[in-house]
Amino acid sequence: MKFRLLPEWAEQDAVMLTWPHQDTDWAANLTAVEPVYVALCQAISQQQDVVIVAHDNALKAHIETLLENAEVDAKRIHFVVTPCNDTWARDHGPLTCANIDDATELKVMDFIFNGWGNKFASELDNQINQVLVKQVANPKNGYQQSELVLEGGGVEINEHGVLLTTSECLLNPNRNPELTKADIEKTLVEQLGATSFLWVDHGYLAGDDTDSHIDTLVRFAPNNTLVYVQCDDKDDEHFAALDAMEKQLQSFKTAEGENYSLIALPWPKAVFNEDGDRLPATYANYLIINKTVLVPIYGDENDQLALGQVAKAYPDHTVVGINCVPIIHQFGSLHCITMQLPRGFLAGTNND
């Protein structure tokens, strides 16, 4: 049987969040960032469940109080209590594949997370998926640990199995130095069911620690559509790289030899922290859930335009903006702190 990574717009049971706590880099701005997590729980729970990874039972009790005060439906919330280094669920969370002949049959892939090339501690985060599967997953699901270093933010896939990624990330020697590009493609065909590859060779975001994750730059939408960030400021340090990226996207072809439909996202004005570091504000870092797309906004004049462009890409979804200024102060955004769990992932679903 053949398993393939599901596109993000496939029906979901839940979204996974790993909650920030005092022993993470978020300690100094927890009061600013926790309301963003609460807002995410409010928005997600309108459509589906939320799985929250909590560092310990004390944090779990604290989160329960926050959500109760925000009138979040407690029946929608599932907790996994296990120690964690940080909160980037997109990158330490599981990648879920489905049998291409029977979508109710799932396989949970658990790749190695090494803190984006050993930049940050990750040994606790790298163990979360084992606990997640044990505590809340449908026991009928398959589970496979991989020896490949790979983060969820580093790959996108569409309904045809085309895998989209950046060469800067997946070919970086700080991930899998012993593997060639051909080796990596072979592994992703075997483990994620990829049918073909689109390698993006240009584009980056200042302040990004991930070595140019694709989810900050270009995203798939249904019907051979690519949603991407476009820089229109020739004086911006990103202009040349993103202009080269746009030209490469224009050259990509589908399996039928057609051009991809391209939808450009606007470029938010530069945001800096108190140390003068530029923060990685990007509208591409949105999350697709059931019937809704949650889009990061930054109090920028282009916020509304970004929401409108995302709506073009996902016409069957409602588009909702989430203020993510507190998140980018830790050099990520909305998609980075979430991981979708497809239909049938959780125990107690009607796939049991």
pLDDT in tens, 317-347: 999 999 999 999 999 999 999 999 999 999 9
pLDDT band, very low/low/confident/very high, at 349 (cuts 50, 70, 90): low
**Distance in angstroms (rounded) separating the CA atoms of residues 62 and 36:** 15
Phi, psi of 194 (to 5 degrees): -60, 140
pLDDT in tens, 221-235: 999 999 999 999 999
Looking at every residue in the chain, the average pLDDT score rounds to: 96
Element (H, E) at 293: strand 292-297
**Which pLDDT score is estimated for 348?**
83
pTM confidence score: 0.97
Instruction: Set out the domains of the chain in order of their start, with CATH numbers.
Output: 3-342 (3.75.10.10)
Residues 15-37: what's their mean pLDDT? 95
As a whole-number percent, the residues of the chain with pLDDT over 90 amount to 98
Residues 23-31: what's their mean pLDDT? 92
As a whole-number percent, the residues of the chain with pLDDT over 70 amount to 99
**Distance in angstroms (rounded) separating the CA atoms of residues 134 and 236:** 47
- Torsion angle, CA of 19/340/107/228, rounded to 10 degrees? -120
CB 166 within 8 A of CB 284: no
Which residues, including other chains, have CB under 8 Å from residue 115's CB and lie 6 or more apart?
A: 85, 121, 122, 125
Task: For residue 293, give the nearest of 312, 322, 320 by alpha carbon.
Answer: 320
Structure tokens at 289: 């859930």
Residues 70-90: what's their mean pLDDT? 98
The three-state secondary structure class of 63 is: helix
Phi, psi of 240 (to 5 degrees): -60, -45
Task: For residue 297, give the nearest of 341, 265, 264 by alpha carbon.
Answer: 265
Residues 11-19: what's their mean pLDDT? 98
**Distance in angstroms (rounded) separating the CA atoms of residues 98 and 345:** 10
Residues 303-327: what's their mean pLDDT? 98
Task: For residue 14, give the nearest of 52, 46, 50 by alpha carbon.
Answer: 50
**Which pLDDT score is estimated for 351?**
43
pLDDT band, very low/low/confident/very high, at 44 (cuts 50, 70, 90): very high
Q: Is the pLDDT of residue 352 over 70?
A: no
Q: Is the pLDDT of residue 1 over 90?
A: no
Q: In this structure, what DSSP letter does residue 15 have? A: E
**Which pLDDT score is estimated for 208?**
93
Residues 207-226: what's their mean pLDDT? 97
**Which pLDDT score is estimated for 350?**
47
CB burial of 51-66 (b: ≥16 within 10 Å; e: otherwise) equals bbbbbeeebbeebbeb
Burial degree of 17 (CB within 10 A; 0-12, 13-18, 19+): buried
pLDDT in tens, 124-149: 999 999 999 999 999 999 999 999 99
Which residues, including other chains, have CB under 8 Å from residue 45's CB and lie 6 or more apart?
A: 72, 73, 76, 77
